[in-house]
Structure 1
Amino acid sequence: MALSDSLLILSLALAAEAAFGYPTRLYTAVGHPVTWIGRLIKMLDRTLNREGWSFGRRRGASVLALLALLTVTGLTVSTVEMLLRPLGLAGLVILAILASSLVAQRSLHEHVAAVAQGLREGGLDGGRRAVSMIVGRNPQSLDAAGVSRAAIESLAENFSDGIVAPAFWLGLGGFTGAALYKAANTADSMIGHRTPRHEAFGWATARFDDLVNLPASRLSALLIVAAAALHREASPARAWRAVRRDAPHHRSPNAGWPEAAMAGALGLRLAGPRVYGDVRVEDRWMGDGRAEATADDIDRALALYRTACALLFGLAAGSALLAWIIAR
């Protein structure tokens, strides 16, 4: 697929998803691409992740599972692309509608906004219930400030791997590129954890996900810094300093970049020590501001997020126009 076509699909997909999201009726009727991919991952986990196998053999099986996942996803989606390509502009529009399911601008905003609403209407218990829908850490270990920080951290990290990353691979590799990324990212969220069952079997998925998220995490940080320049109550200079100083010290090679940018822009401290289940993780702090975040800070983060999404759309649309001019 020509670069100009994939960038046009990206622009249309971002606009469609921001406007309409993924309709609840459609999800109820047929599910979502992530749920379809998830079924395949579960099948591979049941088939190839045998408890009686050695650590090395299960790690080898992780490579086989990743290759199988990417092969099935790639063949399926590239076939759809091939069938729609002869339809011209109509085919591109259909592909854009399909691709819009792979980005999550609207749903991420709704889930994070629900945390602020939960804190305001239901107090700490309401905030904990809402934040438990979007983070893996133990919500009972969080006070109100911890709930607010967790929501903002999730917003920053998911801006990168739930929006910018699929957008990046959609623009670069078309619908197939975005679907392959989404398959890898979904697998990482399901089996890429250091649990007794998945420490070996999730190895290939976790490493591959780190690799494919590298460009998007850096771009996400730049978009948040740029968005901060457009908000009176945010600081692009502090955001940039936090990225340069703190991002490389995050335990994830990618999550620290948008989290540090968001922390610096809002004058907060994010990440830091956290509890997952019963395990306390001594992470480094991102940013050097206050740790006592509030529901109002979630609102400020959401405003910054909306601007960053708008900048991403502008970048996609501008790139599509430039690619079209060059191709003429």
Structure 2
Amino acid sequence: MPWTVLAHPPDTLPILVVALAVEAAAGYPDGLYRALGHPVTWIGRLIGALDVGLNRGSARRRRLAGVLGLLVLIAVVGGIALAVGTLLGLAGPVAGIVLAGIACAALPAQRSLHEHVARVAQGIRREGLPGGRAAVAMIVGRDPESLDEAGVCRAAIESLAENFSDGIVAPAVWIGVGGLPGGALYKAINTADSMIGHRTERHEAFGWASARLDDLVNLPASRLSAGLIVAAAACHRDASATGAWRALRRDAGRHRSPNAGWPEAAMAGALGLRLAGPRVYGAVRVEDAWMGDGRAEAGPADVERALALYRSACLILFGLAALAAIVALA
């Protein structure tokens, strides 16, 4: 069987359907993580080695080294994923698609994102503000000690919206486009941005290429994720699709990120909240526009409302993937 069977549509669309279904049902099993780790941790080790080996010298040299490191990362991850996809394709048309879908299930994070955000609401309800701060520290980079209860809840909802885009929708888009190689390459680029795409003294030059490429590959998913949140809001009585659409059109482009503002604005408008705005990362205060024009006083019930929207948006995404697979294979 030629390798192209698993590397482009229409074959990649049923792979996506299998991946989303398997990951939603089982997540990434703890036993498998303990035994083998996770693709993101493997990618992270390679990025760390490239950082140590290449990130030195003048700013110009660091920027060029960052471009080289990104190319090495893409070549290694893409090559391995393509080889694995080719081997899986040898199992036959149906078995190859199922096996590739199971392999791709490691790339989106529907289940783990839901669990981490749900722990914030649970932490506040069970242990008050300290419990919420401890839980939100696992999913955001800002200083949790600087957050009151409303700030903790807003941070959790913002993380849910942003990670819905780059942790679920974006991997789904790139799996649908390129199967296992497409999804793996996206995760490599996104992980590189998470690790080295920061405006710090060490990484501003070296991580420049990774940050810019991550912005580019997330453009389609950020827009799609916002649309999915609007559609999900239309399915819930305590959410507003009209408010989501209005906030999206007005506020998404005002966010400091070219992508994060889209799902955050849609989520804010759907829930009648204000999200983003000025916040503190470490000792650095980041000035950003507010998404939405509702209330800033969010609580654990709002986190749970956001999770309900998230579940519906994931279900709509799965439905679109299934419909696309049916049409493509008809």
Considering the TM-score relative to the shorter chain, is it more than 0.5? Answer: yes
Q: Does 1:83 align with 2:84?
A: no
Instruction: Give the % identical residues.
Output: 71
**Equivalent position to 2:123, from 118, 122, 127:** 118
1:162-311 equivalences under 5 Å are 162-311=167-316
SS in 1 for 2:90: helix
Name the counterpart of 1:129: 134
How far off is 1:86 after superposition? 2.1
Name the counterpart of 2:3: none
Distance 1:42 1:86 in 2: 33
Task: Provide, for residues 208-233 of structure 1, a one-character-per-residue CA deviation record: whole Å limited to 9, x for no partner.
Answer: 00000000000000000000000001
Contact map agreement 2:8 2:178 (CA 8 A) in 1:
no
**Equivalent position to 2:51, from 27, 37, 45:** 45
How far off is 1:2 after superposition? 4.3
How far off is 1:5 after superposition? 1.2
The CA RMSD measured in Å over matched residues stands at: 0.6
**Corresponding letter in the other structure for 1:171:** G
**Corresponding letter in the other structure for 2:249:** R
Distance 2:19 2:88 in 1: 16
Task: Provide, for residues 284-323 of structure 1, a one-character-per-residue CA deviation record: whole Å limited to 9, x for no partner.
Answer: 0000000000000000000000000000000000000000
1:61-72 equivalences under 5 Å are 61-72=65-76
Gaps of 5+ in 2: 1-6
Task: Provide, for residues 236-258 of structure 1, a one-character-per-residue CA deviation record: whole Å limited to 9, x for no partner.
Answer: 01100101100000000000000
SS in 2 for 1:244: helix
**Equivalent position to 2:32, from 2, 26, 40:** 26
Distance 2:13 2:279 in 1: 39
Gaps of 5+ in 1: none
**Corresponding letter in the other structure for 1:118:** G
Distance 2:8 2:208 in 1: 34
Q: Does 1:156 align with 2:156?
A: no
TM-score by length of 1: 0.98
Moved >4 Å (runs of 4+): none
SS in 2 for 1:35: helix
**Corresponding letter in the other structure for 1:223:** L
**Corresponding letter in the other structure for 2:58:** S
Number of residue equivalences: 323
Distance 1:90 1:36 in 2: 26
Q: Does 1:16 align with 2:5?
A: no
